[in-house]
Every structure is written in structure tokens, then in C-alpha cells.
Structure 1
Amino acid sequence: EHKDDPNLVIVDCPWDYHSYARAHIQGAVCRPGHPYVKGQDSFGQLTLHIQGPNDFKELVKLLGVGQNTQVVLYDDGDGKFATRLWWVLRYYGHEKASILNGGWQGWLSAGYPITYKPSEPLQTMDFHPTPDPTRLTTLDQLKENYNSSEWQVLDTRSDEEYYGRNNRMNKRSGRIPGAIHLEWDKLLEDPNDTGVRRFRSLGDMKQMLDRVGIQKDKTVVTHCQAGIRAAFSAFCLELIGYPTPRMYDASMAEWANLDDTPLE
């Protein structure tokens, strides 16, 4: 309905460019670079932390996204790469990003227009990243507050990771003491087994979070292995009205590879 709006930018957030090149939503531009949207060290390797403001400004410029552009994000998986970019946009002060429910598979199954031709941004826009520290939790902040009665840590990893049976090549395995577990993709559903997973209803998501003990009046911090699944859960928390959930971006890739961080 709105895809021809000049103030709308549709962004495909695939694992790699080949997925976009095979087919994508008509008019969608492709997010350049790695789907994790992390910084890089002097050797070009990804760091554990969010991409810096200058690099992110250039990325957003390539997408044709400005301060007031309406952005719709999707991917060819279950939404975790789209919600990762959503979270980075939010962290840097962009408030007009949303997620296409059902993603690429939902669009495809509905028979909407697709194309194989790359799309170029309609215009070059300026975006000025302004970090919002209330959305991000650092290592030191988490070490100081993980066992506070005012904080709740939401572990969004798989059962295997949470219970220490899969260490993901970290030095240590286990979970942050007291962390509440709700795997990220439990917030999705495909009740008719169509192959298209969509967000559960807001009421269902709220019930699931209530059941595991997540409370709106606490500071909720999501984490996973690298800040991707945790971004998905942060999106869902905000969607159903939790006030500015925080995310520990470096997640277990940092915490479980240090010697002075508690695990159980």
C-alpha cells in the first residue's frame, strides 16, 4: 500500500548479498556489510560491540535513510537480522523503523511483487547518530547490577546454551546467575505450518513473559551469544510496552570468555 511513498525505505537484511540478488521485495534496498552491524578492528575483523556512529552514518546513507525516513526492515529468516538493524537504528536515535511481520517468506507466500534487479535509494539523506545509553548495557554495568533486585537479565539463547551443554566455543559455559530464560524464537508462531513464522499476538507474548517472571517495573536486560537474538527479544519487549529494554550487546561472546564474570 505504501511502497511507492518517497519517504519510505524498505531494507532487506539478509545473511549475505546473494539472497538479495536472487530475489527481493520490489523497491527494497540491501543492507550492506555483515548482518551483525558490529564494529571492526584494524584487521577488518568484527568486534563484539555495536558499529561506531561514523561507520553507521555511512551505512545509513547508503540505504537512503534520513532522520525522518520511515524504514521497514525484513530478512529471509525469522526476523533476527532485521530486528538487529532495528535495534542499532533505535540506539542511534532513529525512531521510525518497523519490522515486516512474516518477513520475506510472508511476502512471497502472499504473492506480492518481487524482483531480481537491485534497487538504488531514491535519494541521499543525512542521518546524525545520537547514541542512547539507556538502550545499551556494558560489561561493567552488568557485573554491578546482574544480581540487583531492580534488574532482570533475560537470556534469549537456546536450552542447550542456557544449561551449559553447548558452549559456542566460549572458554566457559553456563548462564549468568539468576538469569531468566526465554528463547527468542518462542515469541514466533506458525500455527498452520505454512513455513511462515510471524510474531505471536501481543497478548500471547505478554503471557509468556509473565509466566517466566519478567516484570515491567524492572530494568530488563536481554543477552544471547552476540547481541542478535537479544535484539529480537528487545524488539518484542518494546512492542508489547516494556519501557526501553536494554541489551548487553557483547553478550556471552564477552562474558563467558572472561575469568572474573560469574556463571552457574
Structure 2
Amino acid sequence: MQELLTLLQNSKYCVILTGAGISTLSGIPDFRGKDGIYNKFDADLIFSIDYFNKDPSYFYTHSRELIYELDKKEPNIIHRALAELERRGVVKAVITQNIDMLHQRAGSENVIELHGSPKKHTCLACGKKYSIEDVAGILENEEIPMCKECGGLIKPDVVFYGELLEHDVIEKAIEESSRADLIIVLGSSLVVQPAATLPFYTLDNGGDLVIVNNMPTPLDGYARNKYDDLVEVISYLAEKMDIDISEHI
């Protein structure tokens, strides 16, 4: 981990790529870990746009904890450490595959949400916008949220399987990854595209890749360093860089 610390301290443009693994400390299950969503039900169906259009109740039944109880979750030491590193200018951008909005709540400002955000929802019929709080309130009494204006189906502004990512979002993620001389992947299995290709833009720029994940990834062979324990790594960096995370453990 001393080498990672040196890489980080010497980096002129460090970018972080985060996946679901960093939010497990906040009580949000990941997808492919030993206690992940795939071990409980078919996550591909939950976030399938085709299945959502056919049977939206499946999504709204199985996504309560993932999305509509996020107000009960708090940013953990990883989110807070990254926010402090950004405040110090060490980290330039956080690119995330997550839709839990915990990076922003921790204080990170330059956050690129590859898969969108449930902060806003949209009626698929008339385009009326709803906040996540509005929809959570509807779901307290109804199985499926329907538009109060036209009766249309409401969907979170999250990119489902079968939908295209926002062009501006992926372009910004590619731009940041291309500028980076160091990209650190935290808690991602790097199997979902296009997020899995982003480290190659850094590598092509002559930069370094570091991966921290408790499972193997397809990019392990490209990494300058690979670590398994997120808490151990973040705690080490926090201690060496004088970042106080004790109250958030």
C-alpha cells in the first residue's frame, strides 16, 4: 500500500471509478458479491427496460431497499475519504456506476453518474418530473407509481439494461479517464460496459491503474497494483494523508 500512497501523492490527475462494492459498508447490497443481489433474485430482470415495460411491479417490488430507502443509508468512510481527497485537489473526478447518490451526500462535487440517478423520475407518457421523495410517498400506498397528471407509468431516471447511456455523460467519463495519470477502481467487478473500458483510456494515456476489489476482475492483469480489502486500503491512505475518518467507521 506504500506504493499506492506514492502513486497517489505523485499523481497530477487522479480519477476514481467506483462500483457497488463501496456501498456495502453503508448497508446497500452489491450485485455479484457473496451477499449480492444476484444471489437473492434476478437483478437483470429488475433493471431490464423490456421487463419494466411489461411488468413494472417487479422493479418496484424488488428495488425498495436499493432505491426508495436510501434516506436511511449514510455515506461511509470510503465516500467521505474520497470527498476530502477531492476537496484537497488530489482526486479530480469520481466516476460511479452506483445510483445511491452517496458520493454527493458525502461532499464530492465532480461526480459522473454513468447509470443515471433516481433523484428524479419521469412519466413515460407525458414527461412530468417527480422527485424520489414524491415516488417513495406514492409507493407507500400503491404498488406501481402512476402519473398524477395523465396516469402514465413513472420510471426513475436510471439507465436500465437495454437503454443507452446519456451521450454527454459517457463522453465526460471518457474525457476524465483520458486525462488521468492514475485511475483507481474501487469496488467494481469491471464486467459492465462501458465502465469496464474506462481504465484503458488512462492506460493509453500512459497512466497507471490500481484496482481494489474483493473479487477478480478482467482487468487485473493490467493493474499496477491490486488489493482486496477496501476498508484496509482507505484506512491506510487516510492515516498516512491525515484524513480523519474515525467518527465515520
TM-score (norm 1): 0.26
TM-score (norm 2): 0.27
